[in-house]
């Protein structure tokens, strides 16, 4: 389940696993699917499209 979040006058879609936010729901869903299939690692291809980064990253640091 992707979470919709309002930031200022923008809406971003958050991956529920890693917490990164995307400007479209489809990409956020792609990220979430990837995160669920590959716990602890994000797809570089997907995460480079992120427009929002959580203050407290959910991903463990390497």
Interface residue list for Zn ion (CB under 5 A): 15, 17-18, 31, 35
- Non-local (6+) Cβ contacts of 26 within 8 A are none
Residue among 9 and 62 whose Cβ is closer to Zn ion: 62
Closest approach of Zn ion to the CB of residue 29, in Å: 10
Tell me the C-alpha distance between 34 and 10, whole Å. 24
Residue 14 phi/psi, 5-degree rounding, is -100, 135
Q: How far is the CB of 10 from Zn ion (least distance, A)?
A: 19
Nearer Cβ to Zn ion (12/15)? 15
């Amino acid at each position: 389940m992707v979470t919709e979040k309002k930031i200022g006058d923008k809406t971003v879609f958050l991956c529920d696993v890693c917490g990164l936010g995307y400007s479209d729901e489809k990409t956020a869903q792609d990220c979430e699917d990837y995160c669920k299939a590959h716990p602890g690692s994000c797809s570089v291809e997907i995460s480079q499209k992120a427009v929002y980064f959580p203050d407290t990253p959910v991903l463990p640091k390497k």
